[in-house]
A and B are shown apart, each in its own frame.
Chain A
Amino acid sequence: MAEIVLMRNFGRQDSHTLAGYRATGGYTAWEKAKGMEPAAITEEVKKSNLRGLGGAGFPTGMKWSFVPKTHTGPVYLVINADEGEPGTFKDRYLLERDPHALIEGMLITARAIRSAKGFVYIRGEYVQPWRIFSGAVKDAYDAGLLGNGFDIVVHRGAGAYICGEETGLLSSLEGKKGWPKIKPPFPAIKGAFGEPTVVNNVETIACVPPIINRGAEWFAGLGTKTQGGTRMYSVSGRVTKPGVYEDSCAVTLRQLIHDHAGGVSHTGKLKAVVPGGGSAAILTADEIDVAMDVDGLKAKGSMIGSAGVVVMDESVSIPEALLVLARFYAHESCGQCTPCRESTGWIYKMVHRIVDGHGRKDDLDTILDVAKRGGGTTICAFYDGAIGPYISYIEKFRGEFEALCRS
């Protein structure tokens, strides 16, 4: 098992306080970064192979380098704490148990991208995390860490999964409904309030202080060739010990389920696993010897996404599990693009009909056809995320669906 980096303070009673954070070396990376040129910070993060941990896995240092150097107006740093991907709960732990790690990471990132203002967008339902994080921000102001060239505004969302998508999030931050925007322009060029904006996930930015303190090489060495570091895996569903576990990006799905989460519960026999949050294509029991990094899962036709692992044992009905997710996508589609708005609604109805025993076998082909043709046709990746489960659940467990259909 790899070294614990992100969760190193979680065991301390005072881990959310400034004193507790300082006692374990907190804010020493910020002291160090203050002596570094902005470009040198970005270079260090590039070399660390840190990749976005919010879902898309984009190289973090490269994203920062897209902010135009010649821009004279404001540049914003926006933290995505809208955690909403089914099966994911790691950011909640960070906000509650190590809020200063995010604040310190933001200070360093802001220096790298020359930003004087950061926004932290926290999902509206996260009242407790919002209170704890806001308290930490206040303490950082009182200690003079904030307010001297960098300010943080803590912003509460109001319930909408789509606001986790970065451009939807920016619309929402601007006081609008959370409709995603067409890219390009990418947020780094034209983001919040029309200014260059870096959007990063909570956990991504919490990785920055350790990278600055201990160096890019050390961080890169913790992971795989193409993704540095450790990350926090949220493991839930039919396992003996559900919870958040930190390990190397090179850990396998088998190790996570068996070594960390105590193995499969209920029947004890594995049937399927969602490896990267609800929107990731499902894997069968014999596909779990896979490295849990961006490239490892891509090679299996799935994605690491937010690293939310949901385990299903033999007794789980795959059609019913798909019904639960199909309802989610139908409810959360923002309604802007026709393929997404229409298909998520109709596919939910069709899966419902199948589970109720009124489906026809050609319903399955209709769903697959609609899903496959809709990919890549929408403004944002929400619908691509919905397609992952539609196609994989049906193709990998077709027999189970057919058994429910009339012939």
Chain B
Amino acid sequence: MTATRTIVFSPDQLAEVRRLQGLYPDKRGALLPVLHMAQDAFDYVSLEVQEYVAGLFDMAPSHVHEVVTFYTLYFQQPKGRHVVAVCHNLSCYLAGSREILAHVKQRLGIGVGETTDDGRVTLQSVECLCACEAAPMMQVDDRYELNLTPEKVDRILGELR
């Protein structure tokens, strides 16, 4: 399980925060990018992380919280080492995304929104990722995996450590 980490950016990360804040006419513009950084650094954006980030922006933690909860890409709970997001919108549905999602669930033994017991994968079912020409598709961490078949899904999931 995740070890307790001190919620502080390194000096380099802090310099990056200042650089990002300087790019916007009002430093608050850098809030989304800095939250992305925080998620990369601390695995997820806990209340503690939100409070820390709020301090970097001289904002009330509640204002950071309302931003974090608005967007789908920020995790407020620990997530798996990999995030698998199966698209369920129109073109993917027309290409069999329901069967793909059912297959992924069965392979991982978890439902949507859940994480495998070994902390390997968190599963999501998401709206159009705009790669509909290659439906059905899913996102695995930073990558788009296209033109899925059950066999291809098995191969992709098998490679996740």
Contacts and interface: CB of A to CB of B under 8 A. Distances in A.
A19 B101 CA distance: 42
A236 B94 CA distance: 9
Contact of A86 (B25, B89, B133, B143): B89
B65 to A, nearest CB: 10
A236 B73 contact: no
Interface in B37-93: 57, 66-67, 70-74, 88-91, 93
Nearest to B57: A175
B79 to A, nearest CB: 14
Nearest to B67: A177
Interface in B97-137: 127-135
A283 interface: no
B29 A331 contact: no
Contact of A128 (B89, B95, B143): B143
Contact of B29 (A126, A173, A316, A328): A173
Interface stretch (A24-32, A150-158, A214-222): A150-158
Contacts of B135: 236, 242
Nearest to A242: B133
Given A172-B32, A278-B128, A324-B90, A159 B72 contact: yes
B32 A86 contact: no
Nearest to A83: B130
A141 B105 CA distance: 46
A158 B71 contact: yes
B90 A178 contact: no
Contacts of A177: 66-67, 70-71
A236 B67 contact: no
A3 to B, nearest CB: 22
A127 interface: yes
Contacts of A88: 128, 130, 132
Interface string A65-97: 000000000100000000111111101100000
Nearest to B133: A242
B36 A156 contact: yes
A85 B128 contact: yes
A193 B29 contact: yes
Given A278-B89, A310-B90, A125 B139 contact: yes
B94 A237 contact: yes
Given A84-B128, A153-B23, A310-B132, A178 B88 contact: no
A277 to B, nearest CB: 9
Given A155-B33, A161-B127, A175 B94 contact: no
B32 A74 contact: no
A125 B32 contact: no
B26 interface: yes
A109 interface: no
Interface of A: 74, 83-89, 91-92, 123-128, 153, 155-161, 172-178, 192-193, 195, 234-238, 242-244, 274, 278, 308, 310, 312, 316, 320-321, 324-325, 327-328, 331-332, 334
Given A88-B130, A193-B26, A328-B128, 14 more contacts: A85-B130, A92-B130, A155-B32, A156-B32, A158-B35, A158-B71, A160-B72, A161-B127, A175-B29, A234-B132, A235-B133, A237-B91, A237-B94, A328-B89
9 contacts: A89-B130, A91-B130, A125-B139, A157-B71, A178-B71, A195-B25, A310-B90, A324-B93, A328-B127
